[in-house]
Amino acid sequence: MAEALGKNTANLLRSGLGVPLGVLAILMMVMLPLPPVALDVLFTFNIALSLVVLMAVFYVARPLEFGVFPSVLLMATLLRLALNVASTRVVLMHGHTGTGAAGKVIESFGEFVVGGNYAVGVVVFIILTVINFVVVTKGAGRISEVTARFTLDAMPGKQMAIDADLNAGLITQDEARQRRYEVRAEADFYGSMDGASKFARGDAVAAIIILVLQMVGGLAIGTTAHDMALGDAARNYTLLTIGDGLVAQIPALLLSTAVAIIVTRMSRSQDMSGEIGKQLFSQPKALYVAGGVIGALGLIPGMPNLAFVGIAALCIGAASLLQKRRAEEQARAAAAEAAPEIAPVTSPESRELSWEDVRPVDLLGLEVGYRLVPLVDTAQGGDLLARIRGVRRKLTQELGFLVPPVHIRDNLEFAPSVYRINLAGVPVGEGVIHPDRDLAINPGRVFGKVSGIETHDPAFGMEAVWIEPSARDHAQTLGYTVVDPSTVMATHLSHLIQTHAHELLGHEEVQQLLNALAKNAPKLVEDLVPRVIPMSTVVRVLQGLLAERVPVRNMRTIIETLAEHAPRTQDPAQLQAQVRVALGRQIVQDIAGLKDELPVITLESDLEQLLQGSLANAGGGSPGLEPGLAERLQQRLAESTRRQEMLGEPAVLLVPPTLRQTLARFVRAGVPGLQVLAWNEIPDNRKVRLVTAVGR
């Protein structure tokens, strides 16, 4: 029967009718009289519901996993108030018949719990109400209010951090959408908890008012309507009232405790019971001191010596056990670290060297100091490997070829917190990471300062501060973009891969691209390579495009352009220029997006003529510029680029086709944010707006 009832209840809840019918039943309880048996069942159900809610709060990993808690709290409060109304009606109507008039549950709480003494009952009820009203609900309400305010203030910073991770390739679109949903859900949850905590506070006030009204009303009805003696009426109605109040107040206290627990939890996923035990009893010294103080108090004459000495012995024994266990764990860890170092000594080399001992150089490598190993080790909760996979996936889609895997190893010669990124065995970037802190990056406009270790973002050189994780929300409120150490390293890696993408593309990668294109256009690939143009020339053209941040996703257009112009020239530079013209729509789209107007910077006519003359005299090589002129030109282009970036617009230098490649090499190192386009690369449907002209 119980199993069938459980199945029916589950089916009713799944159908979506259970909760609305429950609310209607609560409202009916306010209007219709209930028999004592029904009150017993409902009061027992109310206590069980409060216990279930309290245990659910303990065992959920994150507060957002119990997102319906504010609604559950509202319905539980309504149920308790409806039961108060129903029981008050029964007490006032039938209280003259004895203390069992309102059911066995109320009678038990009135007789057994408080010993049948209504004075004791009144005091116990007042104490419970004061604890609930003054301590638990007031503290929970304040925490809910502050948490809701800080959560709302931190939303822009969290959104910026998600956008930064998405742009760096650390997360996918679906993951970004899920994280944005969690940010909104967190703000909604704590906002709802701020209001829901007022329910518990109002319920505590209502309990006191109901107690007074029920006692006064019962005395009046008992002495006037039923001719009871004042003492008998006081005893009957007061015990019934106290029993009714305790039956309602205990679940109220349980729910208020659940509110306080869920709002004091951290928003990240955690096992609360395990974390409390681990953090509270993680320091044996604290237990030793506590045991010593309690033991000293137990030696004072007149004190309960047995209780004090027993607790002291328990504390000291637990501290000794924890200290012994920690020493064993440290010994195992030291043995595990020493094992790789001892192995080569006990296993001498017994074979001759061969070509197999010549290890190829890793195309992409990441070396880390020993303090950064936990970021890589998934067994210790490190997520750097997953983030690097996300970077490779995103850049592979953007650049148009498979980014090679990143080989990670620790290097004991490094400082503990240093990492280095290698390209073909040569370092191209390095940085210092504080694994126990977060990096707060100044995006250009913040509303205050945060305390921490000042530094610069290793990827883009922006001002940043290494902060404590507890200051993360405060920093986001001030406008900082806060990222964790794994994100810092992954973003730096992503930036360097984009910068050196042309060095990662070789003959093998180009052959794979041609094989993929041959599945859809076999004749195009077969007629071009190697009949018309050698593979090495195709590789150099693609590398030139990647060096100028032009993806090679559109291989069909690239190969068709090469097939058209290769019979006339085999010069990779000229072929690259023709491919850029064919990819003009894609290039401008990547720079300016969907805007019809493209802001451009040009050269003054006399400077342009000077450069073209120098190029002609150089016979097609690099034009010879006077050093002072070259420095002034680079400085003015850098100033124009900074002005465009401050306006939120792309920086584009528009030049004649004959000068484009030369000027692109000239500004690549000195003005990395400036894009150099030729006139014939602008699509016909794009309007050009002159921003400024740079002269000499």
DSSP calls for 327-345:
HHHHHHHHHHHHHHHHHHH
Q: Name the burial class of residue 21, with classes exposed (0-12), middle (13-18) and buried (19+) by CB atoms within 10 angstroms of its CB.
A: exposed
- End of a domain among 562, 582, 602? 582
- End of a domain among 535, 553, 582? 582
Mean per-residue pLDDT of the chain? 81
Residues 679 and 629 in one domain: yes
Residue type, 675: Q
- Check: CB of residue 663 under 8 Å from CB of residue 685: no
- Domain assignment of residue 6, yes or no: no
Number of domains in the chain: 5
Residues 316 and 374 in one domain: no
pLDDT tens track for 223-266: 777 777 777 777 777 777 777 777 777 787 788 788 777 777 65
| CATH classification at residue 578 | 1.10.8.540
Residues 51 and 189 in one domain: yes
- Domain assignment of residue 417, yes or no: yes
Residues 457 and 525 in one domain: no
| SS3 assignment, position 432 | strand
User: Can you give the pLDDT at residue 279?
Assistant: 67
Task: Give per-residue burial for 343-379: e unless 16+ CB within 10 Å, then b.
Answer: eeeeeeeeeeeeeeeeeeebbbbbbbbebbebbbeee
pLDDT tens track for 326-380: 777 777 766 655 544 444 444 445 567 777 777 778 889 999 998 998 898 888 8
Which domain range does residue 451 map to? 364-502
Q: Which residues contact 331 (CB under 8 A, 6 or more apart)?
A: none
Q: Is the pTM of this model over 0.85?
A: no
Residues 123 and 44 in one domain: yes
- Check: CB of residue 453 under 8 Å from CB of residue 466: yes
Cα–Cα distance, 608 to 615 (Å, whole number): 11
User: Can you give the pLDDT at residue 66?
Assistant: 76
- Check: CB of residue 363 under 8 Å from CB of residue 504: yes
Residues 76 and 127 in one domain: yes
- Domain assignment of residue 1, yes or no: no
- Domain assignment of residue 276, yes or no: no
pLDDT tens track for 493-518: 999 999 999 999 999 999 999 999 99
**By C-alpha distance, which of 114, 125, 108, 103 is closest to 250?**
125
- Domain assignment of residue 342, yes or no: no
Q: Quick one: tokens of 403? A: 């980014």
- End of a domain among 481, 502, 523? 502
| DSSP element (H, E) containing 678 | strand 675-678
Residue with more model confidence, 468 or 615: 468
| CATH classification at residue 639 | 3.40.50.12790
Residues 491 and 368 in one domain: yes
Residues 61 and 206 in one domain: yes
- Domain assignment of residue 336, yes or no: no
Instruction: Classify the phi-psi angles of 461: left when phi > 0, otherwise alpha if psi is within -120 to 50, otherwise beta.
Output: left
Instruction: Classify the phi-psi angles of 588: left when phi > 0, otherwise alpha if psi is within -120 to 50, otherwise beta.
Output: alpha
Cα–Cα distance, 529 to 534 (Å, whole number): 6
Residues 81 and 222 in one domain: yes
- Domain assignment of residue 103, yes or no: yes
| CATH classification at residue 435 | 3.40.30.60
Residues 80 and 208 in one domain: yes
Residues 496 and 511 in one domain: no
**By C-alpha distance, which of 198, 226, 1 is closest to 92?**
226
Residues 205 and 251 in one domain: yes
- Domain assignment of residue 11, yes or no: no
Residue type, 291: G
CA–CA–CA angle 631, 635, 637 (5° rounding): 120
User: Can you give the pLDDT at residue 339?
Assistant: 47
